[in-house]
C-alpha cells in the first residue's frame, strides 16, 4: 500500500481483461498463434508493451512496421479473434472479482472501461456470473482512443456525471494506469499482470495483490 487518498471514491471504474478475468495469457497465446501462421515470432517485451491496448492497435502497428498490406493485416486480426474464440473456454475469473464487484455495487457507483469487444465483454460478464451490474460500460463498440490515452475513462466519467476527483480506476496494466492518471483519477493497481515495482513506475497510487486487500482498503477510508 502507498498513500491514502484524501477522500473515499464515489465511483469505481474497472478495467476488464487482467482485472476481472484472467484473460491476458490467452489473448497473448492467440496472437502468438496468429503471428506464427505468417512466420512471425515476437519477443516478450513487445507483448508486454501492448498489454492493456486493443488488438486493433497492436496488430496493425506490428505488421505495418513489417510492410504488410491492409488486407493482410485485416485477415490476421480476424484470425486472432477466431483463435481466441476457440480457446477462451480456458479463461478463469480473477479470484474474488465477482464477489468484489457485487460488494462494490452496494456501496459505490460502478463502471466498466475496457478495450475489449462487446462480444468478449458479454462473455466475460457471463463467466463471472454477475449479470450486468455496471451503471456505465465503455468497450470497443464505443469509439475511443486506446489506452494509454485517457479517453476511455473520460467517457465513463461523463456517463456517470462525475469528475476524476470522485473516481478510482482499477487496472492491471501499465498502459491502463497511465490512462487513468492522465484522466486525473486515483489509480489502483492489482498485481495480476505486472509486478509491484513496474506498476508503481507506471503511476499507481495504491498497489494491491487481491480484491480482499482492496475491500479492506476501501473500508478503511
Q: pLDDT by residue (tens digit) across 120-175?
A: 999 999 999 999 999 999 999 998 899 999 999 999 999 999 999 999 999 999 99
Domain end, chosen from 47, 73, 90, is at 90
Rounded distance between C-alpha atoms, residue 54 and residue 110, angstroms = 22
pLDDT at 1: 43
Q: What is the DSSP-derived secondary structure letter of residue 135?
A: S
What Rg, from alpha-carbon coordinates, does the chain have?
Answer: 17
Strands 11-14 and 109-113: parallel
Same domain, 79 and 107: no
Q: Over the chain, what is the mean pLDDT?
A: 94
Checking if the pLDDT of 7 tops 60, the result is: yes
Please count the CA atoms within 13 angstroms of the CA of 160 that sit on its side-chain side: 29
Predicted confidence at residue 101, as pLDDT, reads 98
In the numeric block, the cell 476501501 is attached to 218
Tell whether 144 and 66 lie within a shared domain. Answer: no
| CA nearest neighbour of 14 among 133, 118, 117 | 133
Omega within 30 of 0 (cis) for the link into 148:
yes
| Cross-strand bridge partners of residue 109 | 11
Residue 4 has pLDDT above 70, yes or no: no
Is 156 found in the same domain as 68? no
**Among candidate residues 32, 63, 90, the one where a domain is terminated:** 90
Cβ-contact 167, 11 below 8 angstroms:
yes
pTM: 0.89
Residue of 142, 146, 148 whose CA lies nearest to 111: 142
CA gap 153, 112 in Å, rounded = 9
The answer to whether residues 117 and 195 belong to one domain is yes
Q: What is the pLDDT of residues 82-132, one digit of tens each?
A: 999 999 999 999 999 999 999 999 999 999 999 999 999 999 999 999 999
Q: Please, which residues have CB within 8 angstroms of residue 118's CB and are 6 or more apart in sequence?
A: 139, 140, 141
For residue 94, the model assigns a pLDDT of: 97
Q: How far apart are the first and last CA of the chain?
A: 13
Same domain, 84 and 138: no
pLDDT confidence tier of residue 2, bands split at 50, 70 and 90 = very low
Confidence (pLDDT) at 6: 57
Reported as half-sphere exposure (CB side, CA atoms, 13 A), residue 209 has a value of 4
Average pLDDT over residues 60-64: 95
Tell which residue, 202, 206, 175, has the closest CA to residue 12.
206
The answer on 213 and 155 residing in a single domain is yes
| Model confidence pLDDT, tens digit, residues 27-60 | 999 999 999 999 999 999 999 899 888 899 999 9
> Based on the domain organization, do 76 and 143 belong to the same domain?
no
Full residue range of the structural domain in which residue 79 is found: 24-90
pLDDT at 186 over 90: yes
Q: Report percent pLDDT > 70 for the chain.
A: 97
Task: With cut-offs at 50, 70 and 90, classify the pLDDT of residue 183.
Answer: very high
Amino acid at each position: 500500500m502507498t498513500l491514502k487518498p484524501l477522500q473515499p471514491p464515489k465511483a469505481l471504474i474497472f478495467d476488464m481483461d487482467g482485472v476481472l478475468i484472467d484473460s491476458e495469457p490467452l489473448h497473448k497465446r492467440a496472437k502468438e498463434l496468429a503471428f506464427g501462421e505468417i512466420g512471425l515470432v515476437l519477443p516478450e517485451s513487445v507483448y508486454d508493451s501492448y498489454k492493456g491496448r486493443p488488438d486493433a492497435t497492436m496488430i496493425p502497428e506490428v505488421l505495418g512496421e513489417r510492410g504488410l498490406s491492409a488486407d493482410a493485416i485485416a485477415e490476421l486480426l480476424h484470425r486472432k479473434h477466431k483463435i481466441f474464440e476457440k480457446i477462451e473456454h480456458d479463461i478463469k475469473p480473477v479470484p474474488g472479482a465477482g464477489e468484489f464487484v457485487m460488494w462494490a455495487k452496494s456501496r459505490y457507483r460502478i463502471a466498466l472501461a475496457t478495450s475489449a469487444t462487446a462480444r468478449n465483454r458479454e462473455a466475460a460478464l457471463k463467466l463471472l456470473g454477475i449479470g450486468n451490474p455496471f451503471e456505465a460500460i465503455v468497450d470497443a463498440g464505443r469509439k475511443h482512443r486506446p489506452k494509454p490515452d485517457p479517453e476511455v475513462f473520460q467517457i465513463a466519467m461523463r456517463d456517470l456525471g462525475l469528475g476524476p476527483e470522485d473516481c478510482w480506476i482499477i487496472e492491471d496494466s501499465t498502459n491502463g494506469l497511465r490512462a487513468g492518471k492522465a484522466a486525473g483519477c486515483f489509480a489502483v493497481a492489482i498485481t495480476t499482470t505486472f509486478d509491484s515495482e513496474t506498476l508503481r513506475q507506471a503511476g499507481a497510487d495504491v498497489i494491491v495483490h487481491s480484491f480482499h486487500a482492496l475491500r479492506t482498503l476501501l473500508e478503511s477510508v
